[in-house]
Amino acid sequence: MSAFTDFVLNTKPQDVPDHVRARTADYLLDLIAVAAGAVDMPASRIIRESTARMYGPGTGGNAHMLFDARKVSVAGAALATATQIDALDAHDGYSPSKGHAGCGLIGALLAEVDEMEDLAGDEFLTTLAIGYEVACRAAVSLHETACDYHTSGAWVAIACAAMSVRLKGGSPETLRQAIGIAEYHGPRSQMMREIDNPTMLHDGSGWGAMTGVVSADMAMGGFLGAPAITVEAGEVAHHWNDLGTRWLVMEQNIKLFPICRWVHAPIGAALKLRSEHEIQSADIERIEIHAFHNSTRLSHSMPKGIAEAQYSLCYPVACALKLGRVGPSEITGALFDDAEIARLVGVTDVSECDHCNANFPADRLGRVVLHLKDGRSFDSGISQAPGEASAPISRAGLIEKFHSYADPVLGHDRASKIRTSVFDLQQGGALGDVLRQLRAPA
């Protein structure tokens, strides 16, 4: 535990390589983009209204909900922000974790720092980077020690507690109790239940963020928690030995489509075939999708709602083939009764791919074969999901994505100010400039 507590509590901005803090700023901008894009989605509106009713501001610190202007408790803001981002499935992920760290981390962190406008930007980014390192290691540790595949909230709670104790100036013993409380109470919800029956529950990130900040507060008050197995157990020690030397921040993936990561390889493959061979959707007679098992569990039919669209395999591939894109507008309902997309979904065959199975979860692979009405066939071969850490999206690409999500909601001028303020954090700019831009209503 000594190396863990030293890393969480004593890491200084100068201890974090410049390129790591720069990439952390990239993720912050990306998460803000998704939060903006999600602001009017039903799950986002519902969670903010519920939070305003159930977790109103109190005496123990207050925080704003994003792009909403209303203040709620710190715990409520963590819940609302992480759930809002989770509502639009376009945020970063860590492939070995089979989940997402940034969504829950930024929900908790922005809630904790809402009243710390003078906090130096490099300290903020350092704390967020520490959160990524703890969350991703807790994730793979949990997968090794638990009997089921749990949502991201189960393990991101530990990292949120760690970040919160750091910000509060807690002791090593307080940190140990906080992560123990967070692991014990973290939402160990089963991910495949959500895959098989898509709802607004998504990845449990909101509850993980809230659990983390509450656990830290309890520990600061003297509440005791059981030891966190995911950190302290001997069988997972190898996941923690490289803290501060191997930066998992650099190993996150970026989503170019607001869809479950498991279908990004088929979407990318379909878009490439469409472009290279100038294929029109009307030319297609039959589609084959070959993917790993978890991907094949995604919906094969036309969606009836937003959740089904985001946890669908055949629908987004059909959108890609007809429209040449898959973005937020494709998951919000306007195309759910589109006759041509429905036809493409109906002529799609899905099967498991042994090679894709063998490489999951380290990689998300897929293959698409298009059979045209004129007898020709085109095979993408095994394809990787775009945006993996092995072929990362550049900062320029992230900026392009940011404006495509944020501008329609916030306007280009306000989005540009947010972008500038976020990147100024790398040079130690005050956090207040970012916070003030995030508070005003969309």
Q: What is the pLDDT of residues 105-160, one digit of tens each?
A: 999 999 999 999 999 999 999 999 999 999 999 999 999 998 888 899 999 999 99
> Does position 60 have pLDDT exceeding 70, yes or no?
no
> Six-digit token pair at 82?
């992480």
Q: What is the pLDDT of residues 281-293, one digit of tens each?
A: 999 999 999 999 9
Residue 164 near residue 212 (C-beta atoms within 8 A): yes
- The DSSP secondary-structure symbol of 91 reads S
> Does position 423 have pLDDT exceeding 80, yes or no?
yes
> Six-digit token pair at 277?
């061979």
72 three-class SS: strand
Angle between helices 152-168 and 205-220 (to 10 degrees): 40
Domains of the chain: 2-255+393-439 (1.10.4100.10), 261-384 (3.30.1330.120)
Task: Give the pLDDT of residue 240.
Answer: 97
CA-based nearest residue to 194, from 85, 48, 298: 298
Task: Give the pLDDT of residue 82.
Answer: 98
In whole angstroms, give the CA distance from residue 274 to residue 101: 33
Bigger pLDDT: 410 or 2? 410
Q: Between the CA atoms of 309, 311, 315 and 320, what dihedral angle is there, to the nearest 10 degrees?
A: 90
Instruction: Name residue, tokens 């307080």.
Output: 174
- Give me the amino acid identity at 45: R
> Does position 191 have pLDDT exceeding 90, yes or no?
no
> Does position 101 have pLDDT exceeding 80, yes or no?
yes
> Does position 358 have pLDDT exceeding 70, yes or no?
yes
> Does position 201 have pLDDT exceeding 90, yes or no?
no
- Mean pLDDT, residues 80-95 taken together: 96
Rounded to a whole number of angstroms, the CA Rg of the chain reads 21
Residue 428: band (very low, low, confident or very high) from pLDDT cuts 50, 70, 90: confident
- Mean pLDDT, residues 8-34 taken together: 98
Residue 74 near residue 116 (C-beta atoms within 8 A): no
In whole angstroms, give the CA distance from residue 113 to residue 118: 10
> Does position 238 have pLDDT exceeding 90, yes or no?
yes
In whole angstroms, give the CA distance from residue 306 to residue 290: 24
CA-based nearest residue to 163, from 212, 99, 225, 231: 212
- The DSSP secondary-structure symbol of 162 reads H
The enclosing H or E element of 368 equals: strand 365-372
Summary mean pLDDT of the chain: 95
What's the CA angle centered on 295, arms 293 and 296, to 5 degrees?
65
Task: Give this prediction's pTM.
Answer: 0.95
C-alpha of 311 from chain center = 14
Phi, psi of 71 (to 5 degrees): -95, 140
Helix residue ranges per DSSP H, 151-310: 152-168, 172-185, 191-196, 205-220, 229-232, 264-276, 293-296, 306-310
> Six-digit token pair at 330?
């494709």
CA distances from 154 to 86, 101, 151, 208 (A): 14, 11, 6, 6
**Residue partners of 67: CB distance under 8 A and separation at least 6:** 35, 36, 39, 409, 410, 438, 439, 440, 441, 442
In whole angstroms, give the CA distance from residue 210 to residue 39: 19
Q: What is the pLDDT of residues 68-87, one digit of tens each?
A: 999 999 999 999 999 999 99
Concatenate the DSSP letters of all residues of 318-357 into one string: HHHHHHS---GGGSSSTTTT-HHHHHHHHTEEEEE-HHHH
Task: Give the pLDDT of residue 22.
Answer: 97
> Does position 100 have pLDDT exceeding 90, yes or no?
yes
CA distances from 187 to 182, 190, 209, 348 (A): 9, 9, 10, 35
216 three-class SS: helix
Instruction: Name residue, tokens 């600061």.
Output: 220
- Mean pLDDT, residues 8-14 taken together: 97
> Six-digit token pair at 306?
């937003």
> Does position 192 have pLDDT exceeding 90, yes or no?
no
291 three-class SS: strand
3-state secondary structure 220-256: HCCCCCCCCHHHHCHHHHHHCCCCCCCCHHHHCECCC
Instruction: Name residue, tokens 């072929």.
Output: 391
CA atoms within 13 A on the CB side of 90: 28
- Mean pLDDT, residues 179-193 taken together: 91
Helices first, then strands: H and E counts in the chain: 20, 7
Residue 209 near residue 152 (C-beta atoms within 8 A): no
Task: Give the pLDDT of residue 148.
Answer: 83
